Amino acid sequence: MQLQIVDNAASRKLFHKVPHLIYKGDKNWAPPLEGMIEDTFTPSKNPSFKNGEAIRWVLIGDRGELLGRIAAFINYDKANTFEQPTGSCGFFECVDEQQAANMLFDAAREWLKERGMEAMDGPVNFGENYVNWGLLVDGFMPQGFGMPYNPKYYQKLFETYGFQMYFKQFSYHLDTTLPELPERFWKVAEWVSKKPQFKFEHFSWDKAEKYIDDFVQVYDNAWRFHEHYKPLDKDDLRDFLKSAKPILEPEFIWFAYHEDEPIALFVMLPDLNQILIEMKGKLNFWGILKFLWLKKRKKMTRTRSLIIGIVPKYQRSGVDAAIFWHLRPVMYRKNWYKEMELSWAGDFNPKIVALYESVGGKHTKTHYTMRYLFDRSKPFQRAPIINAEKVSDKK
């Protein structure tokens, strides 16, 4: 077996070919757009390169067959917020052979180690965590856009190498066609939404920069207390809005205000995977026409929440319920959307888990973010739970 660095058009083509071999015949897998993957590894299009670097490999067998791929990357702003400087690996795909997986993991580990890293997280994204983050371990069904899908045997490949579960990510599904959701929740939501000191409004393109500023203010105030907090880069948001514009529904992005100060946000997108699954990862001229045709025919019937954030001072105020109160008539009006995926509820954040359960969400999928310590003698510690003293153990 031989590792080849991805550094030209031919090797990039091999990198994108690997998953099509791994998932051949798997109807649950939606091929990601190759252009979106390439943007991740293009310094001019990924703000993570401002203070970071990345590399990719493909693994080729003795007979010239493709066996796997992996990427390694470091965001130095984040890496040094951990006890051990921590880099990452991602975009991992591999045949069911531990030796092949080990070669890929070894390549990523050695590259990170040479750059001063002492641990490796994976499989994760070189960028924000709302896409391409985590290893699917339960709920092998079609995933919401940006939520990773992988064969069941990947967990064995990671754990046999020595990765351990750093935290869990839960996804909840909500059937939006049900006539009534938990009544107590909606009563609280209506009561809060009508308080004069609170205001709720959805995103609009003509005020995009204002909402970017509001998003950053909420995000920074909501996550500043977290042990590994890193301020949000506005360029990340601008890139997200630009890339998501073809599918973004302004009424799926909500902000809450107290006395005109932004205090909460909620972002949801139509599930692009329902279209990508028919496009084979390509977006050429005919692919664009097919995309527009499928969108017009309302092929996307699911949505996926990307993030909900509330400034700590208001986390018990009921503004989260009030946001859903304002979202509910939107979902009734756009009734071709039948299902909502409330995703990325980290087990370290029990408040979000409780919110998704209180609105009627059913736990359907679990992803793991894994960590590998280079010094195998060091004790492994899981991600700290927020407000741990108030949380019972969640299995």
Residue 7: pLDDT band with limits 50, 70, 90: very high
When pLDDT is cut at 50, 70 and 90, the band that residue 358 belongs to is confident
Full residue range of the structural domain in which residue 327 is found: 174-368
Claim to verify: residue 252 and residue 140 sit in the same structural domain: no
Type and span of the H or E element at 324: helix 319-333
pLDDT digits (tens, 9 = 90+) for 72-119: 999 998 888 888 999 999 999 999 999 999 999 999 999 999 999 999
Q: Please tell me the predicted confidence (pLDDT) of residue 281.
A: 65
pLDDT of residue 348: 87
* 151 & 117 share domain: yes
Q: Is pLDDT at 285 greater than 70 in this prediction?
A: no
Residue 138 shares a structural domain with residue 219? no
Which CATH number goes with the domain that contains 130? 3.40.630.30
Distance, in Å, from the CA atom of 135 to the CA atom of 374, rounded to the nearest integer, reads: 20
Q: 392 lies in a domain?
A: no
Identify which of 112, 107, 80 has the alpha carbon closest to the alpha carbon of residue 92. 107
Shared domain for 46 and 195, answered yes or no, is no
% of the chain residues with pLDDT over 70: 93
Decide if 386 is inside a domain.
no
CB 68 within 8 A of CB 58: yes
Top pLDDT among 265 and 286 is at 265
- Using DSSP's 3-state secondary structure scheme, residue 282 falls into coil
pLDDT in tens, 227-268: 666 777 888 888 888 888 888 899 999 999 999 999 999 999
Paired strand residues for 366: 138, 170
Whether 187 is covered by a domain: the verdict is: yes
Flag whether 74 is in a domain.
yes
**Strand positions, DSSP E, the chain:** 2-5, 52-60, 66-75, 86-94, 119-122, 135-138, 164-175, 198-202, 253-258, 261-270, 302-310, 339-346, 362-373
| Residue 87 resides in a domain | yes
Parallel/antiparallel/unpaired status of strands 253-258 and 86-94: unpaired
Total structural domains within the chain: 2
Question: Are residue 73 and residue 195 in the same domain, yes or no?
Answer: no
For residue 224, pLDDT over 80 is answered with: no
pLDDT in tens, 11-63: 999 999 999 999 999 999 999 888 889 999 999 989 899 999 999 999 999 99
